[in-house]
Amino acid sequence: MLSTSLAVFRYEFKKSFGLGNTMLWLCVIAFPTVLQLLIDQASSNIPVEFSGVLLVGTIPGAVCLMTILSSMSPYLNTELEGNTWPYVAVRPYGRTSMMLGKYLVSVTRSIIAGFLAIALVFLSTSLNELNRDVPPVLMQPAQAGTELAPLSFDQPAFESNEPTEPGSDSYPLWLALGILVILSSLCYSTLFCLLGTITHKRPMVVAIVYTLLVEGLISMLPAVVNTLTINFYLRSIFLRLMGWQLSDLPPQLSFLDDPNLVSQLGTSGDILSLGVLCTIFMLVANALLRNREYHVGQTL
């Protein structure tokens, strides 16, 4: 099954770089840079924290999501409309291999798009105040001697009111964004895979509505239900990686000044929670794909 999945990945990945798809893909990648350039021209008094959160919303939250939306959501619909589903369905493990192969395509394209957007925005704009050379969170001097001791990856759960000195226990902005691009690509691809399997007739419409309502609105509610969203954990990981305390955020980000809007599990707990959600999404999608009957032309 692994070799079949890789064969599907190679074929679909090569096919995804058609002229029209590539032009649209490049426009999406350039969007965060254009937006940041406009902000730089309009005002120089915008806090760097606001620019950091804006990049999270435009790179992992827009570039990656748009890439995944166009590649993963209609993965089953494409097979049904293209009359290729019977050939997939009759092969041993054909359905699962097709799903995994297209999942790998979605993740790969999303990560590439996110990394290109990060490189472009930092080469074209002045966002160096939050962009240090080495992540000091990886190592800190030991109290005795000259050896370096590892610093814990899990920061306090945003409860301290002490101001955080930039660069003392935080990652550089580019690295924090890179980590979020990888996590966002892996997690949202599983979510859109499930949505594309359940609602294969109108996959992109349902995916857009779900993203706006659940990942956008419900994830910002100070209630337990927001712990079922991917955005809740990604937001918490980013704030923790940057070493920001809720009480120290500028007025423009006052909507985040609520401890119920961030996870108290720590970074490892957040990643574990994301892993559990993604595993459930993929298992349910695979079970539906293998046990439901699909007919060519039923999407028309």
**What's the start-to-end Cα distance of the chain, in Å?**
30
Sign of CA dihedral 200, 203, 207, 209: negative
pLDDT digits (tens, 9 = 90+) for 81-109: 878 888 887 888 888 899 999 999 999 99
Question: What pLDDT does 282 receive?
Answer: 94
pLDDT category at 144 given cuts 50, 70, 90 is very low
Residue 135 lies in a domain: no
Question: What pLDDT does 216 receive?
Answer: 84
Residue 148 lies in a domain: no
* Cβ–Cβ under 8 Å, residues 267 and 238: no
- Percent of the chain whose predicted confidence (pLDDT) is above 90: 25
Question: What pLDDT does 283 receive?
Answer: 95
Q: How far is CA 220 from CA 15, 16, 25, 119, 215, in A?
A: 37, 34, 28, 29, 8
Residue 184 lies in a domain: yes
* Higher per-residue confidence, 147 vs 9: 9
pLDDT category at 143 given cuts 50, 70, 90 is very low
Residues 44, 38: Cα–Cα separation, whole Å: 11
Phi (first) and psi of residue 284, to 5 degrees: -65, -45
Question: What pLDDT does 193 receive?
Answer: 93
Question: What pLDDT does 265 receive?
Answer: 83
Closest CA to 63 of 36, 20, 14, 26: 26
Question: What pLDDT does 160 receive?
Answer: 39
pLDDT digits (tens, 9 = 90+) for 241-283: 877 766 556 555 655 656 677 788 888 899 999 999 999 999 9
Which residue do the tokens 């999608």 mark? 285
Domain count, the chain: 1
Sign of CA dihedral 116, 129, 62, 171: positive
Question: What pLDDT does 276 receive?
Answer: 94
CB atoms within 10 A of CB 83: 10
Residue 18 lies in a domain: yes
pLDDT category at 55 given cuts 50, 70, 90 is confident
Three-class DSSP category at 55: helix
Strands (E), 76-190: 139-141, 148-150
Domain of residue 257, residue span = 2-130+158-291
| 278 Cβ contact partners less than 8 Å away, ≥ 6 residues apart | 186, 187, 190, 191
pLDDT digits (tens, 9 = 90+) for 149-196: 333 444 444 443 343 344 445 778 888 899 999 999 999 999 999 999
Residues 178, 83: Cα–Cα separation, whole Å: 38
Residue 142 lies in a domain: no
Three-class DSSP category at 140: strand
Residue 7 lies in a domain: yes
pLDDT digits (tens, 9 = 90+) for 23-46: 988 999 998 888 878 877 776 666
Phi (first) and psi of residue 56, to 5 degrees: -65, -40
Residue 136 lies in a domain: no
DSSP string, 179-238: HHHHHHHHHHHHHHHHHHHHT-SSHHHHHHHHIIIIIIIGGGSSSGGGGGSHHHHHHHHH
Residue 218 lies in a domain: yes
